[in-house]
Amino acid sequence: MHRHGYKGTKFGRERDQREALVKGLAESLIIHGRIVTTVPKAKTVVPYVEKLITKAKKGDLHNRRLIISSLQTVSTAHRLVDELAPKLGGRNSGYFRIVRKDNRRGDNAEMAEVSFVDDLQEAPVAKAAVKAPAKQHHDQDEVKTTPVKKATPGANRTVKASDNHLSHKPAVQVRKSGER
């Protein structure tokens, strides 16, 4: 059988399970800065996260939404765009290194550690320019109330349904308590 057109490692999983696995590994890598996993999983997650970092460096709304859809939680996506991407500004690609470790004891699988090439703890975070606060209209902040007119004693008045917009009843005649 030919091997043409079969791109990527399947990991013995269905497509949705495989995508969830890669999203989870990417999320752990962004949160912790390093992960230890098998070599094929490491080789799969590195290009995935590098593409996300390239989108995060642009930082516009569209790319932020693409990153949110590519990760499991929104907070991790915001961390990638706001904290990690500015620290990686001096590098165009090659953000990660894969270091092979000893084989796993149970199944003898080849293990690897994936970590950032740059030390992100020491790199300063680029600060956004401070914007002047928007001009506020004080008219919108205040709650406008209209005074309620009290009925004079003994005067008959008719309350229309349009006056009481919450009522679904027809117009009601209000009279003094002693009258019939």
Q: What digits encode the pLDDT tens for the residues 89-109?
A: 888 999 999 999 999 999 999
- CA neighbor of 80 nearest in space, from 115, 41, 43, 54: 54
For residues 84 and 145, give the distance between their C-alpha atoms in angstroms, rounded to a whole number: 49
Confidence of residue 180 (pLDDT cuts 50, 70, 90): low
Domain range summary for the chain, segments of one domain joined by +:
15-116
Please report the pLDDT score of residue 53 as a whole number: 96
Mean pLDDT, rounded, for 154-175:
55
Mean pLDDT (whole number) for 122-151: 57
Contact (Cβ atoms closer than 8 angstroms) between residue 11 and residue 18: yes
Distinct helix (H) and strand (E) counts, the chain: 6, 5
**Four-way CATH pick for 15-116: 3.40.50.10190, 3.40.50.1000, 3.30.230.10, 3.90.1030.10:** 3.90.1030.10
